[in-house]
Amino acid sequence: MNKNLLRILLVEDNEGDARLLREMFRSEAPGSFELTHLLRMSDATVHLAKGSTDIVLLDMGLPDAHGLDTVRMAYAAAPTIPLIVISGLDDEALAAQAMKEGAQDYLIKGQIENRALPRALRHAIERHRMQAEADLVRTNKLQFKDEFLSHVSHELRSPLTAIYQFVTILLDRLAGELNPEQIEYLSIILRNTKQLQSMINDLLEVTRMQASKLKIDLQCISPSAAILDAVNTLRGAAEAKRITLTSSIADPLPPICADPTRLLQILIILLDNAIKFTPPDGIVNLHAGIFAEDPALLLLTVSDSGCGIAPDMTERIFDRLFQTAHPDVGGRNGLGLGLYICKDLVNRQGGRIWASASHGQGAVLSVVLPVFSLPNLIAPALKRERHTQGPVSVIVTETTSLTGYLSDTDRVEKGQGVRDILLGCLHSDMDILLPKMRSSAPTELFFILAITDNIGSAAIAKRIRERLQGSTVLQLAGLTAVVYHRSLPHIKRDVSESMKDFSDRVAAQLQDLMNDEISARKVIHVQ
Amino acid sequence: MSNKKILIVDDDPDVRQGMYVRLKANHYVPIFAADGLTAMSEARKQEPDLIILDLGLPAGDGFVVMERFKSIPAVAVIPVIIVSARAGHGNRQRALNAGAKAFLEKPVDNDQLLAAIRNALGEPAPPSPAALPAAK
């Protein structure tokens, strides 16, 4: 194949405009351009998936996509291919937005000179290549920094382990009796060792955050367990300062869509912080209840009787490496990463954190996290896919029980992102599902939710993809959300068991579990 | 009390010694290995009741050592607890999938370590946690 051959994909539904554009390549050397002309976005995304395109020329008004959405969709289909928008609108703001969404250039129809278009294409490709190179250098640099920090943090842990071991050996009198002065000094060493340990942990956490290695495993959980755990963890620290640590939990608390480990981490950071900034004999309270302004959110507040937060500091306390200098609080307080980590963890779970200014009357830190619902469950994946098309359809497979659970309007409200819930149980139901899927909007995004991540649901996902990939009616966006219950891996089908018996048995067990509303675990992975 | 034999595999001599004192004080019989190969031969020779394994070892990391343990029937049945400074989500999952009884992050809290050991050995929890004055 000719190395200089430029393979152009023109997506334009107006035949007249397409002809004009085609004309502009006429005077170029033969064999230097290969133009593929398509009329619809859906065809273009299929073509782009083949990977035989060097550059895209995109009209912003297509039968199945319009405006900036065309740019978003083309960019999502092939983020590594340079994209030039051709538009009839001479609109600076729109051009700027198109560039922001991933376009390399914005050309106005009727203002493109004959020889200018091929040149613009070559330049766009060159610009795109240089940008990709710069991105790579930047990524490599960041990766080095992350690896360095991660390495150093890990290496610091070994000597720290030995210090901890021997200080506790001495304090536990395993090497003989101690006098009160020795006990006091060893306790100081131990306290500082723990401080160092928590700083190293923070450093590792931030490294993981920046390297996007931090795993958030959203589940349907009851927040009460984490609240009690956090309060118990910090009880010792509070008692040491004679601080009264209380919790008030509204009854009933709805299940929320969060990562239980991360929720606990958030609460521990907030309580630890409150205890640190509260003088002896003070009060720290953790409250949980439905957020009055929005019942789809759970509100968690940590309030204390400490020195409070100055009005100009309510934003800054979440900055990386922020440290306060308050006369009431002596000594070191860590790296200034706690609230920064906290904010990141809250945001990643679709929540929000803020501090209320109340100088001199104690601080109030509030966190809201989404209450468990189907739209909330798939929201992070929608965001990652840059999905802006409005509601999506959800296909629920595998068991009758969960489909019932999810489609029960009392529990899950449709809307807010979910257009339709298509129900299907096993392989055979695909024949019922596929026509339903075909009748949906052409650029519909589908989620497949399955109870287990076993071969069955993978096979269903594969079948749907196979059946819809070549279709001009529907695109499967290549996303599979697998929802499965934490206790379900233990449910396995016996070889002698019929599929129906198995399904009934799973359904019965699920119903029990769902009644408890303990946990539905979720894994979203991009296929 | 216990007298159960525990093989400690860690390349850091200080950490090994610290673990030795702690385990001995709790009536276990600690034995050592500083690398994967010694760990293999010690495990085969001494048939300990439990192995405490570090992941970052010279000549073959902890995962490789775990795989080798599995290849010898007499050693394959011995429960393994991983104690590591490399405590990312990936390592934890990998270790548990490979059959480790517990995954503990260095520096391990003493109570946590002893609880994991008792759990892996199927021993009951001590009647009162204050058998030894715990340093918090």
The alpha-carbon gap from A104 to the nearest alpha carbon of chain B, in Å, equals 38
pLDDT digits (tens, 9 = 90+) for A177-215: 999 999 999 998 998 898 888 888 888 888 877 776 677
Mean pLDDT of A108-132: 83
Classify residue A318 by burial, with Cβ atoms within 10 Å: 0-12, 13-18, 19+: buried
Instruction: Report, in this order, helix, strand and coil percent for chain B, each rounded to 5.
Output: 45, 15, 40
Confidence band (pLDDT; 50, 70, 90) for A89?
confident
What's the rounded Cα separation, in Å, for the pair B36 and B62?
7
- Listed in sequence order, the residues at least 6 apart from A158 whose beta carbon sits closer than 8 Å to its beta carbon are B12, B15, B85, B106
Q: Is the pLDDT of residue A97 over 80?
A: yes
A220-370 belongs to CATH 3.30.565.10: yes
For chain A, the structural domain boundaries read: 6-114, 149-210, 220-370, 374-526
> How many structural domains does chain B have?
1
Highest mean pLDDT out of A254-258, A345-349, A445-449, B90-94: A345-349
pLDDT value for A271: 94
- Cβ-Cβ contacts under 8 Å, B112 against chain A: none
Handedness of CA A155, A157, A161, A164 (dihedral sign): positive
Q: Is the pLDDT of residue A25 over 50?
A: yes
What's the rounded Cα separation, in Å, for the pair B16 and A89?
73
Record the pTM.
0.58
Give the helix/strand (H/E) hosting A352.
strand A352-356
Residue B129: inside a domain, yes or no? no
Architecture of A6-114 per CATH? 3-Layer(aba) Sandwich (3.40)
What's the rounded Cα separation, in Å, for the pair A499 and A493?
8
Residue B80: inside a domain, yes or no? yes
Question: Does A173 sit within 8 Å of B12, measured CB to CB?
Answer: no
Residue B24: inside a domain, yes or no? yes
Mean pLDDT of A247-272: 86
The alpha-carbon gap from A202 to the nearest alpha carbon of chain B, in Å, equals 13
Residue B47: inside a domain, yes or no? yes
pLDDT value for A523: 29
Highest mean pLDDT out of A85-94, A333-342, B18-27: B18-27
Cross-chain CB nearest to A172 (options B106, B107, B133): B133
Q: Is the pLDDT of residue B51 over 90?
A: yes
What's the rounded Cα separation, in Å, for the pair A525 and A461?
12
pLDDT value for A322: 79
In 3-state terms, what secondary structure has residue A367? strand
pLDDT digits (tens, 9 = 90+) for A61-78: 888 888 888 888 888 888
A109: its two tokens: 């129809």
pLDDT value for B90: 75
pLDDT value for A430: 57
Q: Check if A129 contacts B (Cβ < 8 Å).
A: no
pLDDT digits (tens, 9 = 90+) for A296-340: 889 999 999 888 888 888 888 888 777 776 555 555 566 778 899
Strand partners, A392: A418
Mean pLDDT of A468-476: 35
Helices (H), A349-386: 374-384
Q: Check if A168 contacts B (Cβ < 8 Å).
A: yes
- Cβ-Cβ contacts under 8 Å, B12 against chain A: 158, 161-162
What's the rounded Cα separation, in Å, for the pair B29 and A5?
74
Question: Does A236 sit within 8 Å of B136, measured CB to CB?
Answer: yes
pLDDT value for A452: 40
Q: Check if A190 contacts B (Cβ < 8 Å).
A: yes
Mean pLDDT of A373-390: 56
Tell me the CATH number at B39.
3.40.50.2300
Give A114-151 as a DSSP string.
TTHHHHHHHHHHHHHHHHHHHHHHHHHHHHHHHHHHHH
Residue B135: inside a domain, yes or no? no
When computed from its CA atoms, the radius of gyration of chain A, rounded to whole angstroms, is 29
DSSP state letter for A371: B
A420: its two tokens: 């339709």
* CA A335-A341-A344 angle, 5° bins: 150
Range of the domain at B94: 5-123
When computed from its CA atoms, the radius of gyration of chain B, rounded to whole angstroms, is 14
Question: Does A169 sit within 8 Å of B21, measured CB to CB?
Answer: yes
The alpha-carbon gap from B110 to the nearest alpha carbon of chain A, in Å, equals 8
DSSP state letter for A303: E
Mean pLDDT of B3-22: 94
- Mean residue pLDDT of chain A comes to 74
- Cβ-Cβ contacts under 8 Å, B89 against chain A: 213, 215
Confidence band (pLDDT; 50, 70, 90) for A488?
very low
